[in-house]
């Protein structure tokens, strides 16, 4: 009995492996015949035919493109990948904004929905919002869940990916929430959950500037601060899947500012978008000056407001921005010295603030690097605020279709 079960498992594994190989080839070659698949894979013709028939008739992932040219016998039927028949959803669950996209199986975004995050209303309210975003994306295209192969979602914080549990998220003040389970109970499709910054790195590695790079780091400089690292072509997860919590590196042990994690001196507490806005609101002179210059109430001052005031010549806003950027440059320089990347790609909301952000940041990083490390390239992330959703699409496509997209 044990032998039979083992043989059955081995057979199922081989079918999945062969399906993956064939689907990869069809997608990579664009146009290919069954005979060419047999030649390239070394698989038996009946095996190739069974897998192709399933991909065409059951999964709608492959279609018949045309009849090829004959070499004396029956003309071959040419196959091609079918990216438009089914779809994938990607969601970036941020502390300030929930961004959701609907894409085809080539990760071409077809539609987008955004909502302000109601995190103050608690966990269940945020789950309801995620469900709402998914339903809006489907309803606007008149699709049902059967036409979507899966939903990928990026969340800031520590995750147990195997169980889909958010172990801890300081951005949401969540501990051990069963996000995957709770969403799958409401949305009729497979759900995949990953750290949002690791997804940024996956998005760059799959479709962006990291496609041809072996060692690079993506820094997420937004509401929080984090990093996704690719070492020798592999996205790193760490021993417990918690890697990348760059924002909780201590950069000033004497700082009185308490981070969301409950500790003092964290990079995130000193250089994130949240910390910049808080520093402006809590400084009476700066708050008054910035609110008057940008015509917003003090309680509506955000990091982008402070940078806008900086652009308009406000000295107090400039001082706040430069202090935050100084801390960030210290953190990034430490990353470079530790991991020796060839490229640092910086995304997140702060990275959208043009020269007021980039000039002092790159200068500060380079001033702190040892001479050999100064060859590292410091660039904006390709997809900017869309990096996480692009990575979430890549995660689902690889998990469900088994495509070698990295």
SS3 215: coil
Reported pTM? 0.88
Tell me yes or no: is domain 87-202+388-401 CATH 3.30.420.40.
yes
Whether the pLDDT of residue 352 is over 70: the answer is yes
Q: Residue 404: is its pLDDT beyond 80?
A: no
Residues 6+ apart with CB under 8 A from 366: 374, 378
Q: pLDDT: is 339 or 12 the higher one?
A: 339
Strand partners, 378: 344
pLDDT digits (tens, 9 = 90+) for 288-312: 999 999 999 999 999 999 999 999 9
How confident is the model at residue 385, as a pLDDT? 86
pLDDT digit string (tens) for 239-280? 887 888 999 999 999 999 999 888 999 999 999 999 999 999
Q: What is the DSSP string of 281-315?
A: HHSHHHHHHHHHHHT--GGG--HHHHHHHHHTT-H
Comparing C-alpha atoms, which of 17, 118, 32 is closest to residue 404? Answer: 17
pLDDT computed for residue 403 by the predictor? 58
CATH 3.10.129.10, applies to 211-381: no
Residues near 125 by beta carbon (within 8 Å), at least 6 away in sequence: 118, 119
Query: How are beta strands 77-81 and 32-33 bridged, if at all?
Result: antiparallel
For residue 206, pLDDT over 80 is answered with yes
3-state secondary structure of 114: strand
Going by the DSSP 8-state scheme, the letter that residue 247 receives in this structure is G
Ranges in the chain annotated CATH 1.10.10.10 = 2-81
* Cβ-Cβ contacts under 8 Å for 228 (sequence gap 6 or more): 195, 197, 198, 199, 200, 201, 202, 217, 218, 220, 235, 244
pLDDT 10s digits, 210-219: 999 999 999 9
Backbone angles phi, psi at 341, to 5 degrees: -75, 160
pLDDT digit string (tens) for 309-344? 999 999 999 999 999 999 999 999 999 999 999 999
Domain 2-81 has CATH 3.90.105.10: no
Average pLDDT, the chain: 91
Residues of the chain within CATH 3.30.420.40 domain(s) are 87-202+388-401, 211-381
């Amino acid at each position: 009995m044990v032998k039979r079960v083992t043989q059955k498992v081995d057979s199922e594994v081989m079918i999945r492996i062969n399906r993956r190989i064939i689907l990869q080839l069809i997608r990579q070659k664009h146009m290919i015949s069954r005979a060419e698949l047999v030649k390239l894979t070394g698989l038996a013709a009946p095996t190739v035919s069974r897998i192709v028939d399933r991909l065409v008739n059951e999964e709608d992932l492959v279609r018949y493109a045309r009849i090829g040219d004959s070499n004396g016998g029956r003309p071959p039927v040419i196959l091609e990948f079918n990216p438009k028949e089914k779809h994938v959803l990607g969601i970036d669950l941020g502390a300030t904004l929930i961004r959701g996209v609907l894409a085809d199986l080539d990760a071409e975004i077809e539609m987008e929905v955004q909502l302000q995050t109601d995190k103050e209303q608690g966990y269940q309210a945020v789950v309801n919002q995620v469900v709402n975003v998914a339903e809006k994306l489907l309803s606007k295209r008149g699709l049902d869940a059967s036409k979507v192969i899966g939903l990928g979602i990026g969340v800031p914080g520590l995750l147990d990916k195997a169980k889909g549990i958010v172990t801890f998220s300081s951005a949401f003040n969540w501990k051990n929430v069963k996000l995957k389970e709770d969403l799958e109970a409401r949305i009729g499709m497979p759900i995949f959950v990953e750290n949002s910054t690791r997804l940024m790195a996956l998005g760059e590695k799959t479709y962006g500037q990291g496609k041809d790079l072996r060692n690079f780091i993506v820094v997420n400089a937004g509401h929080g601060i984090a990093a996704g690292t690719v070492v020798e072509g592999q996205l790193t997860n760490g021993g417990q899947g918690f890697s990348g919590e760059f924002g909780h590196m201590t950069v000033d042990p004497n700082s009185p500012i308490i981070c969301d994690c409950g500790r003092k001196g964290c990079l995130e507490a000193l250089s994130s978008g949240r910390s910049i806005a808080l520093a402006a609101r809590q400084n009476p002179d700066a708050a008054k000056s910035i609110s008057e210059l940008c015509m917003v109430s003090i309680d509506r001052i955000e990091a982008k407001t402070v940078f806008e005031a900086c652009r308009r010549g406000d000295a107090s806003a400039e001082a706040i921005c430069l202090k935050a950027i100084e801390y960030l440059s210290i953190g990034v320089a430490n990353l470079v010295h530790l991991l020796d990347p060839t490229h640092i790609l910086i995304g997140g909301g702060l990275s959208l603030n043009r020269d007021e952000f980039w000039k002092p940041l790159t200068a500060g990083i380079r001033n702190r690097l040892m001479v050999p490390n100064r060859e590292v390239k410091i660039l904006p992330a390709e997809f900017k605020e869309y990096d996480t959703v692009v990575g979430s699409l890549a995660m689902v496509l690889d998990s469900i279709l088994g495509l070698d997209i990295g």
